[in-house]
């Protein structure tokens, strides 16, 4: 328990110290924000700061910090360290800059922002990449909750039309269409803060319930080993698996939603950096629950591995019931049904933003908005109702999603570093996590079974993957420093200008 509490205190302290340090380097000022300057009543709408924080939290969270943290707990309490320091020095920095750079560029989607600082080729790549990723995420977060609702209803004896997955999928997609199309403050701005509070309440209930029900959170240093039952390497599998709980590129696709609703740049520290720290705290709670509730056998997380075989929804439900009782059943329903839906609709909305920026479509126009919403949701409906995703489980999707997700985070951090270099500011706050994530992504890509690890000789081959990851990270760092030297005029430009 001491290790958990210490990590929690460090993370919260990181918001007030390192988070403020990052904010000061960026230098928010009193310039007119896009929400005030453009204010189209649809996407650019001024919202109160507390709503911005809760909506941002729900947009970036969903099941991410729960599922990723539970999967990460398979490695044991050492996952606490990655969640804590990954959040402070990587994830929150990534989220802050993805939001603030979007705000500084008229609320542009992340592909456009990246192109501004890394060039047109990267912009084109990320345009395609982000739209495909967002539609896939939105579809998955429609199919999953629909199936789970049917399962829960049939267990309660419900039959007939409302016991059919296709019916619930149609209802969810219809809601997605409405939420994607109408003004952001009509549904998302009004309802999501409530769900954001529920997500926080769920985490508080779990962490209070752990000691109350006699469970004990193991300490890090007395269990400082790889406890994964399959002996899956910590590096870099754990860093990829715990995506949304430490750093997630998906967040960069969501941050422009709130970047278009800031009344003042000075809200960025609380809304973007703060929401990521809150998500990190939620992830830490669920990782602690995964380590505490289930027994370890021979120093391995066998109990957690067994429950996760039934799917992450089963594990979430089980943890909620064991730590919160009947109240946990209600909160678990919110967690495994509503939270994915709230991530799904903002994923489709972000896809519309990305396409609109790409095609230069004015989204204040009803016709233009409809012209993008229909095909985006149409593709989602085709994938959802067809057999395309029928063979995929959340676990399989998570493995494929996680690498692309962390790679996107890496690219966004390099974009932030280039912005800081051009502004003659301390770019190392972005360069350090960008280099680290370059090594993580490259290492995983070389040896993961779903990537180059398809080749038998490379599967989990750390002798090849570890050096390859280091070489690629050093190469990226060298390329950046060379570019930074050109834009600053010399090798010592960083730090001269702080505002």
Tens digit of each residue's pLDDT (9 = 90 or more) over 15-27: 999 999 999 999 9
Instruction: At 331, list the tokens.
Output: 């909160």
Q: What is the pLDDT of residue 365?
A: 72
pLDDT above 70: residue 496:
no
- Residue pair 376/135 in contact (Cβ under 8 Å)? The answer is yes
pLDDT band at 326 (very low <50, low <70, confident <90, very high): confident
pLDDT above 80: residue 494:
no
The string of pLDDT tens digits covering residues 169-206 is 888 888 888 887 788 777 777 887 888 888 888 889 99
Q: What is the mean pLDDT of residues 386-402?
A: 54
d(CA 495, CA 420): 9
At the topology level of CATH, where does 2-394 sit?
Hydantoin permease (1.10.4160)
pLDDT above 80: residue 400:
no
pLDDT above 70: residue 399:
no
216 sits in the region (left: phi over 0; alpha: psi -120 to 50; else beta) called beta
Chain centroid offset of residue 87 CA: 11
Eight-state DSSP code of residue 231: -
Q: What is the mean pLDDT of residues 140-163?
A: 78
Which three-class secondary structure state does DSSP give residue 326? helix
Q: What is the pLDDT of residue 396?
A: 54
C-alpha to C-alpha distances, 430 to 28, 62, 325, 413, 425, nearest whole angstrom? 17, 26, 43, 6, 11
- Residue pair 266/260 in contact (Cβ under 8 Å)? The answer is no
Q: What is the mean pLDDT of residues 334-344?
A: 74
pLDDT above 50: residue 156:
yes
Q: Which of 102-116, 151-165, 183-197, 469-483 has the highest mean pLDDT?
A: 469-483
Least confident of 43-57, 148-162, 442-456: 148-162
Cβ count near 417 (within 10 Å)? 28
The string of pLDDT tens digits covering residues 85-124 is 999 999 999 999 999 999 999 999 998 999 999 998 888 8
State the average pLDDT for the chain.
Answer: 86
Neighbour-count burial for 51-85, b at 16+ CB within 10 Å, e otherwise:
bbbbbbbbbbbbbbbbbbbbbbbbbbbbbbbbbbb
Eight-state DSSP code of residue 453: G
pLDDT above 50: residue 497:
no
d(CA 316, CA 147): 16
pTM for the whole structure: 0.87
> Could you report how far apart the first and last alpha carbons of the chain are, in Å?
41
Mention every residue, 6+ apart, whose C-beta is less than 8 A from residue 283: 65, 66, 68, 69, 72, 83, 87, 242, 244, 245, 246
Q: What is the mean pLDDT of residues 224-231?
A: 91
Between 340 and 80, the higher pLDDT residue:
80
Which three-class secondary structure state does DSSP give residue 297? strand
Place of tokens 């599922």: 67
Instruction: At 366, list the tokens.
Output: 């009803």
The CA R_g of the chain, rounded to the nearest whole Å, is 22
d(CA 146, CA 314): 15
d(CA 71, CA 375): 34
**Among residues of the chain, what percentage have pLDDT more than 70?**
93
Q: What is the mean pLDDT of residues 343-347?
A: 80
d(CA 475, CA 374): 43
The string of pLDDT tens digits covering residues 59-89 is 887 777 888 899 999 999 999 999 999 999 9
Q: Could you give the angle at which helices 188-212 and 49-60 cross, rounded to 10 degrees?
A: 70
pLDDT above 70: residue 12:
yes
Q: What is the pLDDT of residue 285?
A: 95
d(CA 390, CA 376): 20
d(CA 460, CA 451): 11
Least confident of 182-196, 395-409, 437-451: 395-409
Q: What is the mean pLDDT of residues 31-56?
A: 92
Q: What is the mean pLDDT of residues 28-39?
A: 94
Residues forming beta bridges with residue 11, ordered by sequence position: none
Eight-state DSSP code of residue 490: S
């Amino acid at each position: 328990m001491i290790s958990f509490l210490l990590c929690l205190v460090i993370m919260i302290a990181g918001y007030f110290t390192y988070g403020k340090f990052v904010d000061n380097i960026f230098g928010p000022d009193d310039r007119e924000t896009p929400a005030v300057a453009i204010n189209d009543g649809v996407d650019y709408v001024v919202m109160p700061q507390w709503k911005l924080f809760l909506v941002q939290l729900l947009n970036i969270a969903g099941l991410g910090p729960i599922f990723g943290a539970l999967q990460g707990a398979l490695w044991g309490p050492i996952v606490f360290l990655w969640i804590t320091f990954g959040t402070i020095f990587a994830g929150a920095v990534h989220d802050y800059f993805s939001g603030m750079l979007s705000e500084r560029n008229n609320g542009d989607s992340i592909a456009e922002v990246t192109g501004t600082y890394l060039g047109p080729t990267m912009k084109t790549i990320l345009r395609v990449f982000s739209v495909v990723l967002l539609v896939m995420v939105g579809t998955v977060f429609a199919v999953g909750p629909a199936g789970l609702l049917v399962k829960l209803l049939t267990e309660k004896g419900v039959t007939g039309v409302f016991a059919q997955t296709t019916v619930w999928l149609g209802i969810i997609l219809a809601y997605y269409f409405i939420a994607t199309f109408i003004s952001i403050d009509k549904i998302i701005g009004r309802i999501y803060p409530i769900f954001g509070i529920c997500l926080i309440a769920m985490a508080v209930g779990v962490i209070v319930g752990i000691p109350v029900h006699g469970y004990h959170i193991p300490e890090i240093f007395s269990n400082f080993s790889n406890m994964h039952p399959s002996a899956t390497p910590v590096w870099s599998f754990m860093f990829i698996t715990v995506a949304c709980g430490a750093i997630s590129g998906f967040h960069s696709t969501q941050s422009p939603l709130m970047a278009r609703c800031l009344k003042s740049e000075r809200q960025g520290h609380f809304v973007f950096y703060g929401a990521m720290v809150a998500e990190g705290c939620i992830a830490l709670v669920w990782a602690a629950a995964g380590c505490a509730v289930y027994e370890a056998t021979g120093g391995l997380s066998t109990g957690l591995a067994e429950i996760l075989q039934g799917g992450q929804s089963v594990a979430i439900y089980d943890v909620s019931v064991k730590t919160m009782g009947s109240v946990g059943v209600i909160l678990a329903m919110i967690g495994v049904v509503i939270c994915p839906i709230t991530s799904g609709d903002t994923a489709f909305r972000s896809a519309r933003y990305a396409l609109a920026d790409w095609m230069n479509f004015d989204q204040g126009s009803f016709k233009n908005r409809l012209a993008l919403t229909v095909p985006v949701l149409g593709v989602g409906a085709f994938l959802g109702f067809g057999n395309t995703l029928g063979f995929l489980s959340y676990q399989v999707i998570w493995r494929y999603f996680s690498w692309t997700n962390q790679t996107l985070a890496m690219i966004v951090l390099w974009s932030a570093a280039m912005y800081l270099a051009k502004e003659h500011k301390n770019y190392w706050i972005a360069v350090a996590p960008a280099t680290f994530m370059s090594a993580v992504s490259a290492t995983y890509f070389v040896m993961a079974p779903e990537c180059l690890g398809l080749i038998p000789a490379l599967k989990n081959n750390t002798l090849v993957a570890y050096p390859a990851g280091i070489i690629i990270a050093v190469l990226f760092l060298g390329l950046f420093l060379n570019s930074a030297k050109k834009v600053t005029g010399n090798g010592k430009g960083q730090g001269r200008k702080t505002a």
